[in-house]
Amino acid sequence: MAQDGNISRTWFEWVREHDQHTLELIIETNLQTDPFSPDYDQAALDKMANDELQNAVRRFDKTAAQSLQCRVRVIPKHQN
């Protein structure tokens, strides 16, 4: 998937919840995800997630995209 400088990788996972399957876009980021950190920027996280979700949906065919129910989960990049 197309990635900006704050995204290290993205992938989809199927999540089963209440007898339904939902597609979840996982975004691994270098941005701070801890809301108690002084470097936390909710607006930057929201923009990154929205932009990447739009990019991902564009890659589906239009029929599938119209019926797609997708959630977004942003996770911090694992530091070795």
pLDDT at 33: 93
Please check whether residue 44 lies inside any domain of the structure. yes
Low-confidence spans in the chain with pLDDT less than 50: 1-2
Strand partners, 21: 16
pLDDT at 9: 85
Number of structural domains found in the chain:
1
Please check whether residue 2 lies inside any domain of the structure. no
Domain that residue 72 falls in? 7-76
Q: State the Cα–Cα distance between residues 19 and 13, nearest whole angstrom.
A: 16
pLDDT at 1: 45
pLDDT at 32: 92
Coil, helix or strand at residue 25 = strand
pLDDT at 2: 46
Please check whether residue 12 lies inside any domain of the structure. yes
Please check whether residue 49 lies inside any domain of the structure. yes
73 contacts: CB under 8 Å, gap ≥ 6: 24, 25, 26, 27
